[in-house]
Chain A
Amino acid sequence: MLSFFFLSSGLFLGWSLGANDAANVFGPAVGSRMLKFGTAAAVSSIFIILGAAFSGAETSETLDSLGSVNELAGAFIVALAAAFTVYWMTRLHIPVSTSQAIVGSIIGWNVFSGNLTDISALAKIVSSWVTAPLLSACFSAVLYGIAKAVLSKSSIHILKLDYYNRIGFLIVGAFGAYSLGANNIANVMGVFISVSPFRPFEIGTVSFSSTEQLFMLGSLAIAAGIISYSSETMKTIGRRIARLSPVAALIAVSSSSLVLFVFSSSSLSRLIESAGLPPIPHVPVSSSQAMVGAVIGIGLIKGSRELNYKLLGKIASGWLSTPVAAGLLSFISLFVLQNVFNQEVYKPIYYKVSRESAKVIESAGLDFKGNEELYDSIFRSASEFKDALKDPDNDSIRVLLFLSQIGEVYPDMDRALTDGRLSDVQFSALASVGGMNFQSRWQLYERLAAQTEEWRFEAGKTVRNARLLRLFKTVISEAD
């Protein structure tokens, strides 16, 4: 029962996301009375659930790489600190981002538990906070330019245009809700994935993993937020950008929805990668800030000289103040819950390098020379282990931590089966050790790496290694 109580903070976060962020998608349409609130609430609820169910996993993985919260009570505090920060910042009228709050909260947990914060994952997330509104501004500027050129040359009766706008708001709203669900479900339920109290179950031929059940619950909380509380927010958002014409408002919603989609679509990322371009990171971004970016983009094309610098300043200050506030709140609350209420807020992770594992570590392209005196020492946290290392290499530290972590593991074939990213070669290598338990991760790695280079870490290939590490984390489970 306590397990399910601990999920309540995530549900609260989901509820507030539904109450606030869904307004960015349907606000202009409902605020200008082009769509009824009931229609908007129904469409956004359905599509947020679909987005979370079908495309929510990618952004969750990014948050997980930042810090994998490993105790339910810890996840409760992380989500609660984020939710409270969002509530607090909203009261200060700052277009706050749930993802900024959750990132700060996770870092607070990392510091408290001695877990290392993945700097490259953090850099990826932070850069997206800046690029998301910028990209949204670019999208809206381009779309607005095209719409203006097309509409000035075509003769569409204003009543027909009004009709097309209504359909447009409905379609774009559905797309925006899908993207919001896909992009932001990680903020709501991401921290609970590793500690989910749910067990997989099947109905007929359809199976539901614990993550899918979490996402379903989270998206229902978002839907509840939309239905119960977003009506007023939608009207406010609608009034705030009422100076935009319906076509411009439609473009603003399209642009911000596109940004959410870009940062959560794995197929789009693969397409871009196949063209030889760097892949798009899957990061939860702020729909409110994407919306502000879109409105600014249109303003720039219209030649508006009145950029709201005060609002821009508030957003930029939020990039720092939101995660810092959430991080501090998370750290203090974790301390209180652990020491006052005697709850375990993190599971200690121990690390050890033996002579045998050192050979495997070096075969994975890592240099462990000069650290021989650490052999067989046990370290109680990642930060303690890192501090003991001579000249730790930041690029490869996560591979080293993975191979040195103490704990019996086994290949989780159920997860491997449902994960579409495994190649046939990787899957058959994994299947060959299926059903076996390994005393340490490095032993399992050794067996897999011996079978195929597709399971092998390589020196200097940071991106490949990070991707492989994510795969390992997905398909390996800890034995009880």
Chain B
Amino acid sequence: MQFIFKQTNELIRSIEEFIDITREGSLHFKKALSLFLENKIAEFEERVAIISENEHNADSLKKIIESKLYLRMLLPESRGDVLTILETMDKITNRSKSVIKAFSVERPEIPEDVKSGMLELAEAADKAVEALVAVVRAYFDNAHNVHEKLHLVKFYEKEADVLSEKIKRDIFAYSTPLAVKLQLRDFISGIDGLADSALDVADVVSIAAARLIV
């Protein structure tokens, strides 16, 4: 039994690590975007490498957790929910990586007026991920607390939507070529998508928590 307890603690640490990676991924994304907008390309590329490594680590950890949960037949009632949560959460890290890689590859020209809005949008998306991490931790530690933490995720996701729409309207009001407008629109949607992904995970956690409550 002591052996199983040790293994349980190891698995808890792996899940904690996975959550930390998601949170750090969001922070790195915000920082990388800021560096890109400041035109500090060398430092930006370093961050891109970190985000890529993070995404890889998250994938590996997810696989380890998945196999441990199945092999040791842990959480028979809620294993499916836990795996869905981890799977949807992993999409946030994947999305951070693909958006920031696109910045690295396409190097879009960002108009000065849009930069501050973009940073604000990244801030709102990061806040949504931060709130989501609190929700996920609550799910694992005490599902009763999930509900009260959900509203912050919804709030920041909505905030990101509003900001995203405003920036897009501003972009399309400029007299720049349509191709540039479309490219910028896609980047704005990509950043906003991080908050959307956070909300997707929150929805999954909300249902799973209801099932978990004694």
Chain A residues engaging chain B, CB cutoff 8 angstroms: 32-34, 144, 147-148, 151-152, 154-160, 162-163, 166-167, 242, 245-248
Q: Is the CB of A157 within 8 A of B141?
A: yes
Report A-chain residues with C-beta under 8 Å of the C-beta of B8.
Answer: 159-160, 162-163
Residues of chain A with a CB closer than 8 A to B139's CB: 158
Contacts A34-B76, A152-B142, A157-B140: A163 and B214 contacting too (C-beta < 8 A)? no
B121 to chain A minimum Cβ distance, whole angstroms, is: 34
Q: Which of B15, B73, B141, B213 makes the CB contact (< 8 A) with A33?
A: B73
CB distance from B206 to the nearest CB of A (A): 15
B214 with A247: CB separation less than 8 A: yes
A148-B214, A154-B142 known; A159 vs B12 contact (CB < 8 Å):
yes
Q: Which 6 A-B pairs have the closest CB atoms?
A: A155-B141, A152-B144, A33-B76, A247-B214, A155-B142, A32-B76
Number of interface residues of B (CB under 8 A): 24
Whether the pair A162, B142 counts as a contact (CB closer than 8 A) is no
Tell me whether chain B's interface is mostly helix, strand or loop, or mixed: helix
Interface of A is mostly: helix
B1 interfacial by beta-carbon distance below 8 Å: yes
Docked Cα-Cα span, A151 to B212, in Å, equals: 11
Which residues on B sit within 8 Å (CB–CB) of A245?
A: 77, 211-214
Complex CA gap A151/B142 in Å reads: 8
The residue on B at minimum CB distance from A151 is B214
For B142, list chain A residues within 8 Å (CB): 151-152, 154-156
Task: Select which of A156, A158, A247 is within 8 A of B75 by beta carbon.
Answer: A158
Q: List 7 A-B contacts (CB under 8 A).
A: A148-B214, A157-B141, A158-B82, A158-B139, A159-B75, A162-B8, A163-B5
User: With A33-B76, A163-B8 known to touch, is A158 a contact of B140 (CB < 8 Å)?
Assistant: yes
- Which residues from B are CB-within-8-Å of A157? 12, 140-141
Q: A33-B73, A34-B73, A163-B8 are in contact. List 12 more A-B contacts (CB 8 A).
A: A157-B12, A157-B140, A158-B141, A159-B11, A159-B12, A159-B74, A160-B8, A163-B4, A163-B5, A242-B77, A245-B213, A248-B214
Q: Which residues of B contact A158 (CB under 8 A)?
A: 75, 78, 82, 139-141, 143, 212
Which residues of A lie under 8 Å from residue B141 when comparing CB positions?
155-158
Q: Which of B5, B11, B141 has the most chain A CB atoms inside 10 A of its CB?
A: B141
Q: Chain A residues with Cβ under 8 A from B78's Cβ?
A: 158
- In the complex, the chain A residue whose C-beta lies closest to that of B69 is A159
CA distance A166 to B7 in the complex (A): 14
* CB <8 Å contact, A167 and B212: no
Q: A351: shortest Cβ distance to chain B, in Å?
A: 60
In the bound complex, residues from chain B placing their C-beta under 8 Å from that of A152 are 142, 144
On whether the beta carbons of A32 and B77 are closer than 8 Å, the reply is: yes
Chain B 114-139 interface mask (CB, 8 Å, partner A; 1/0) = 00000000000000000000000001
Q: Which of B15, B77, B139, B214 has the most CB of A within 10 A?
A: B214
